[in-house]
Amino acid sequence: MQNVLHLDPEARDLFLEARAAAERPLSPLAERDRQIFVLRLERWFQNLVDGLRPVYGRRPDFRTFVVGLCREMAEAYAQRPEALKELDLERDLTPDWFQRESMLGYVFYVDRFAGTLRGVRDRLDYLTELGATYLHLMSTLEAREGPNDGGYAIRDYRQIEPALGDRDDLQETCTVLREKGVSVCIDLVLNHCADQHDWARRALAGEQRYQDYFYMYEDRGAPDAYERTLPEIFPDMAPGSFTYQPEIDRWVWTTFHEYQWDLNWSNPQVFLEIVRSMLDLANLGVEVFRLDAVAFLWKRVGTNCQNQPEVHDLLQGLRACSKIATPAVAHKAEAIVSPDDLIHYFGTGRRYGKVSNIAYHNSLMVQFWSALASRDTRLMTHTLREFPRTPTSIAWGTYVRGHDDIGWAITDQDASAVGLDAHAHRAFLSDFYSGRFPGSHARGRVFGFNPRTQDRRISGTTASLAGLEKALETGDERLVALSIERILLGHALILGFGGIPLLYMGDELGMRNDYGYEHEPHELGDNRWMHRPRMDWRAAELRDREGTVEERLFHGVRRMVRARSRTPHLHASYATDVLDIGHPHVFAYARPHPLGTMVALLNFSEQVQTVNADVLTSYGIEQPYDQIQQTFVGVEGGVLTLTPYQRYWLI
Ligand code: GLC
């Protein structure tokens, strides 16, 4: 019944062998399920092989590897619960499920938000009140004991962090949420595992099989050669990219902390191990994997060892595995890289649309903070206009803040195109957000100062960076109001840009910096902890008390969430056209849609601004209606007026 003609001859041959191997574990399956699996295998097989061939194709064991992989996928499908198989079918039919205008992500550390996985279920009312349909549960998998980089040093990809619960709890949580239409996302840390992972322990004990899971060197030759062009990720906390292990007299590649050992993806066993874990977690009900630190998966001497083409091949391979065995699942790439590199995570050229479903729009986030500090949208407009078109099948993950620092990913070309010196502008932003710049409203701190490049990244919560912390201290209601408007402006941007907005826990209540990390031995020295506070449930209660900061923010955000789900123009399959309206303080873009175009206008200054209404009429908007406020907007004398930090979504 299969039509294998679309496969290239080599892949066809391999497919027939893989299918034969895959059909065996499928024997306990109903005939209909077996047929469905084989259809999917055939449908995605070329994608799979095209991803794996450039990376592993020259190995003599390539065929065995691919056949073994297909057998594993069949095994995982045979284990897949019925409810998830139904979800698979549903999503075969609605592949745009994650692109919809009703999607809203909410991101939090499970322990800091709700104590445990079970606790998350108890907080469901809060989450649905906000409109969340997608929860990124951070630090869910078992991390190493002691320092673990906020859970990003995994000791066991199959186990849950014991303090949060166990596998049954994750499964139960996913089931309860799924029944309410809420999808669970967890991290899959791909670049490294903990030094306490069984693979690392066995490597340390001298087992060659496991030493091959990592990059290990007998002397400094290779490490020195690589380090000539390797940037430092944590220059102050964890300098260098290699760690000496006296037990085995080897240098181990450790891009991040010395306890995070980089996995050697040139070894197909590593690919297999990760797929096994990924499918296993998907069978518990995880619907989105956030693929952590993917830019670093492939190393090449003479480069910065980021964004190498093999990374995109590997991601395409992983993506195909999910499509075959657990098709309800989507992949989100965490590649915090510059605009030119970012686009490849959706797939370009022969990989177009095949690499990941979702990727963080790091540039949008950086440009938001940059324009907010300078009150000038020209760099933002230019940079975002230069972005290449993305495939229609993907979604940006848009965000104002996350759990990491902000790095000023602004290129020299983009800066000079608008008459800025990139280095000076980045320095200004660091000064501004660390509060050093005269008149700055921000209360952030410098993270990861690199004395060699003078690079300074920034930590701090949205509220503290937007001025709320300082304003509340002064007690000046005008300043409080302005900072609330800034926070709402950021949310109007991420909710109305197109993509999946990822709200970061506490931002909807204006939670300020938590300086408690200074007293925690594992956190001291990593000031990212100041923007990872514990959920303030007392503040959450204030959301219904009129006039409180919490009420103004929570309801301001929720109003836009609701407006968003009434606005089909925001389905992620439609493109965003950033407009150059020649205004230095207003950011404008259009979302063309068969129903008519939506034009967004965002005022990035604390002054009233006017915009020529031609921008609207050119899209056929004669009587602008604002989706956020649900009112018509007056145009007087051919101009539209925006109050300080005002935002419009006009149709
Ligand atoms: C990602 C995480 C970050 C972590 C790093 C290393 O960037 O978001 O928190 O430090 O990966 O795993």
Separation CA 573–CA 549 (nearest Å): 35
Question: Cα–Cα distance between 322 and 282 in angstroms, integer?
Answer: 9
- Residue 520 designated active-site: no
Check 334, 414, 507, 523 and give the catalytic one.
Answer: 334
Nearest CA to ligand 1 atom 7: 293
Q: What is the amino acid identity at position 497?
A: F
Cα(267) to ligand 1 centroid in Å equals 23
150 lines ligand 1 (CB under 6 A): yes
- Closest residue CA from atom 9 of ligand 1: 404
Ligand 1 atom at minimum distance from 192 CA: 12
Q: Which residue minimizes the CA distance to atom 3 of ligand 1?
A: 404
256 Cβ closer than 6 Å to some ligand 1 atom? yes
* C-alpha of residue 292 to centroid of ligand 1, in Å: 7
Q: Which CATH architecture has domain 575-650?
A: Sandwich (2.60)
List 50, 72, 262, 292, catalytic entry = 292
Bridge partners (DSSP) listed for residue 588: 579, 601
Identify the H or E element spanning 280: helix 268-283
Q: For residue 76, report the distance from its CA to the centre of ligand 1, in Å.
A: 28
The predicted structure's pLDDT at residue 388: 87
CA dist 111 and 403 (Å) reads: 14
Could you identify the residue written with the tokens 């181990």? Answer: 252
Is the C-beta atom of 189 inside 6 A of ligand 1?
yes
Q: How many angstroms does the Cα of residue 374 sit away from the middle of ligand 1?
A: 28
Which of 137, 189, 195, 292 to mutate for ligand 1's pocket (most ligand atoms within 8 Å of CB)? Answer: 292
Domain locations in the chain as residue ranges:
198-262, 575-650
State in Å: Cα 196 to ligand 1 middle.
Answer: 18
Report the DSSP beta bridge partners of residue 105: 134, 502
Helix (H) or strand (E) holding 142: strand 141-143
* Ligand 1 near 405 CB (within 6 A): no
Q: Do domains 198-262 and 575-650 have the same CATH topology?
A: no
334 is a catalytic site residue: yes
Asked if 440 and 547 touch (Cβ cutoff 8 Å), the reply is no
pLDDT of residue 246: 97
* pTM, 2 dp: 0.97
CB 295 less than 6 A from any atom of ligand 1? no
Closest residue to atom 4 of ligand 1, CA basis: 152
| Dist. CA 285–CA 170, nearest whole Å | 8
Q: What is the pLDDT of residue 238?
A: 84
Q: How many whole angstroms separate alpha carbon 179 and alpha carbon 198?
A: 35
pLDDT at 1 (0 to 100): 45
Distance 152 CA to ligand 1 centre (A): 6
Q: % helix / strand / coil in the chain, to the nearest 5?
A: 45, 15, 40
Nearest CA to ligand 1 atom 11: 293
pLDDT at 214: 98
Asked if residue 152 has its Cβ within 6 Å of ligand 1, the reply is: yes
- CA–CA distance, 520 with 515 (Å, rounded to integer): 10
DSSP-based three-state secondary structure for 8? coil
Q: Name which residue sits closest to atom 10 of ligand 1, judged by CA.
A: 149
Give me the residues of the chain with pLDDT under 70, please. 1-3
Convert 47-105 into a string of H (helix), E (strand) and C (coil).
HHHHHHHHHHCCCCCHHHHHHHHHHHHHHHHHHCCHHHHHHHHHHHHCCCHHHCCCCCE
What tokens does 555 get?
Answer: 């309801």
- Find out whether the beta carbon of 296 lies less than 6 Å from any atom of ligand 1: no
Q: Is 404 in the pocket of ligand 1 (CB under 6 A)?
A: yes
CATH number assigned to the domain covering 198-262: 3.90.400.10
User: Given this model, what pLDDT does residue 237 score?
Assistant: 85
